[in-house]
């Protein structure tokens, strides 16, 4: 792609995509607007129409991935609500989002400064997941004394599966992971077995 073929309105999004690719290959410390401009096939001055500096690009990348991730989680439960089936579907969506986009996982959990789980931390996908799980617990009258450990177990399981999917991406295709995730989650004691589990 060169500066004669890209559309000006698309350059910002293209820089975000190329920025993610660059960071996963070379690391965030090596990122610069000039290098991303070269990857996009545009002049070194073109990015400054969209980002004042590297930090603004990094912030845009983080928001871009976060928005996509949160949207996938919300869409996964839209049809079934705060039910065990909804929890199952959201867990599937969580793992498969990163299995399909391993570079997103690496950026958010390795290259960014995102923190989750603290009292003052705000991260939309994590907040949505925790609020949803609390509602599921309420709806099925899950014992209060078991909720804290159950939440940790649930979070550890899906995040661990996502980590494995990202690490194994080079060796196993997405269809394999879809089948594996469905099998593991549908047989997990925290999520009741479904007759026809589908992510």
Predicted local distance difference test score (pLDDT) of residue 179: 82
Overall pTM surpassing 0.85 (yes/no): no
| Tens of each residue's pLDDT in the chain, 199 residues | 444 445 555 899 999 999 999 998 888 889 999 999 999 999 999 999 999 999 999 999 999 999 999 999 999 999 999 999 999 899 999 999 998 888 899 888 887 777 666 555 578 999 999 999 999 999 999 999 999 988 988 888 889 989 988 886 555 677 777 788 878 877 764 554 445 555 6
Angstrom CA distances, 24 to 17, 32, 112, stand at 11, 14, 11
Lookup: tokens for 129: 């997941």
What DSSP string describes 28-41?
GGG--HHHHHHHHT
HSE, CB side, 13 Å, CA atoms: give it for residue 16.
Answer: 16
């Amino acid at each position: 792609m060169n500066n004669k073929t890209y559309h000006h309105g698309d350059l910002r999004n293209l820089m975000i995509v190329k920025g993610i690719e660059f960071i996963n290959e070379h690391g965030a410390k090596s990122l610069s607007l000039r290098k991303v401009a070269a990857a996009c096939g545009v002049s070194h001055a073109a990015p400054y129409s969209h980002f004042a500096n590297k930090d603004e690009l990094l912030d845009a990348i983080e928001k871009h991935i976060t928005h996509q991730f949160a949207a996938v989680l919300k869409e996964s439960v839209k049809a079934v609500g705060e039910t065990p089936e909804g929890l199952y579907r959201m867990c599937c969506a969580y793992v498969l989002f990163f299995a399909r986009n391993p570079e997103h996982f690496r950026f958010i959990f390795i290259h960014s400064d995102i923190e989750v789980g603290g009292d003052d931390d705000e991260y939309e996908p994590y907040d949505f997941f925790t609020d949803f799980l609390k509602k599921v617990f309420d709806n099925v009258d899950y014992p209060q004394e078991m909720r804290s450990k159950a939440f940790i177990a649930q979070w550890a399981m899906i995040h661990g599966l996502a980590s494995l999917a990202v690490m194994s991406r080079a060796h196993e295709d997405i269809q394999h992971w879809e089948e594996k995730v469905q099998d593991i989650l549908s047989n997990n004691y925290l999520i009741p077995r479904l007759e026809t589990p589908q992510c």
